[in-house]
Amino acid sequence: GNSVTQMEGPVTLSEEAFLTINCTYTATGYPSLFWYVQYPGEGLQLLLKATKADDKGSNKGFEATYRKETTSFHLEKGSVQVSDSAVYFCALSDRWGAAGNKLTFGGGTRVLVKP
Amino acid sequence: DAGVTQSPTHLIKTRGQQVTLRCSPKSGHDTVSWYQQALGQGPQFIFQYYEEEERQRGNFPDRFSGHQFPNYSSELNVNALLLGDSALYLCASSLDGQGVNTGELFFGEGSRLTVL
């Protein structure tokens, strides 16, 4: 079955530091890949996505590239802010374009950015 | 535009009891999915409803059941509660009834269930 593995946290950084959160996946076929973010006291929200190999998703300064050869979708940001403190979830869906989108999530990585 | 709303936000039950959680999808969405998020873990798919029927189901026992109403809102029911059912239950909505699947789910803030 499908699975997603991401690095465990917490990850503690200083403001303006570089952030990388590793994510690898196991899936049949060609899944779509996502990063969701959960800010304190809020629901999960989509951060970025990529639907095919070599696609790069980007949003709010975050980027992730769909690497089929390494089955990875690592999240990066060049200069983090205190407001980026949140829990980040890597996820996949194998039903792109078809009805019934179902996500398989990783365990989440808590990121804490200190001023 | 109201997003996904869930109720109640918190509740406490005892083992063996039954619970009903409610979800109103984002305006214009026709599909509702439910996820269970245990403390410190990622959400796990329970099931999905479309056109008032269960379309997909994850690895959860029959104690977990649901319903979708004609206005697309949904309920999650859990019978014979166990301590291990304590978790944050997330509702997510999407518009893919016409096969237009953007891959994005919109999540509510969840209902936190504690079983004592």
Residue in A103, A109, A110 to test binding to B, most B beta-carbons within 10 Å: A103
pLDDT tops 50 at residue B99? no
For range A98-111, the mean pLDDT: 84
- Cis omega before residue A10 (within 30°)? yes
Q: Closest to B94 (Cβ–Cβ): which among A45, A49, A101?
A: A101
Residues of chain A with C-beta less than 8 angstroms from the C-beta of B48:
100, 102
pLDDT at site A66:
96
Tokens representing residue B104 in the block: 């994005």
pLDDT tops 90 at residue B100? no
Give the DSSP letter of residue B63.
Answer: T
Q: A105, B101: Cβ pair inside 8 Å?
A: no
pLDDT at site A71:
95
pLDDT tops 90 at residue A58? yes
For range B104-115, the mean pLDDT: 93
Closest residue in B to A105 (Cα) is B42
pLDDT tops 70 at residue B46? yes
For chain A, give the mean pLDDT: 91
Closest Cα in chain B, distance from residue A90 (Å):
9
Please report the sign of the dihedral spanned by the C-alpha atoms of residue A24, residue A22, residue A100, residue A49. negative
Q: Which of B46, B55, B28 is nearest to B88 (CA)?
A: B46
pLDDT at site A99:
54
Q: Closest to A43 (Cβ–Cβ): which among B56, B94, B108?
A: B108
Neighbours of B3 (CB within 10 A): 16
Compute the CA torsion angle B109, B59, B105, A69 (nearest 10 deg): 130
Strand partners, B93: B32, B106
3-state secondary structure A4-63: EEECCCCEEEECCCCEEECEEEECCCCCEEEEEEECCCCCCEEEEEECCCCCEEEECCEE
- Tell me the pLDDT band of A98, cut-offs 50, 70 and 90: low
Q: B41, A34: Cβ pair inside 8 Å?
A: no
Written as one letter, the residue type at B29 is H
Q: A41, B41: Cβ pair inside 8 Å?
A: no
- Tell me the pLDDT band of B1, cut-offs 50, 70 and 90: low
**What beta strand segments (E) does chain B contain?**
5-7, 10-13, 19-24, 31-37, 44-50, 53-57, 64-68, 74-78, 87-94, 106-107, 111-115
Q: Which residue has the higher pLDDT, A54 or B100?
A: A54
pLDDT digits (tens, 9 = 90+) for B22-40: 999 999 888 999 999 999 8
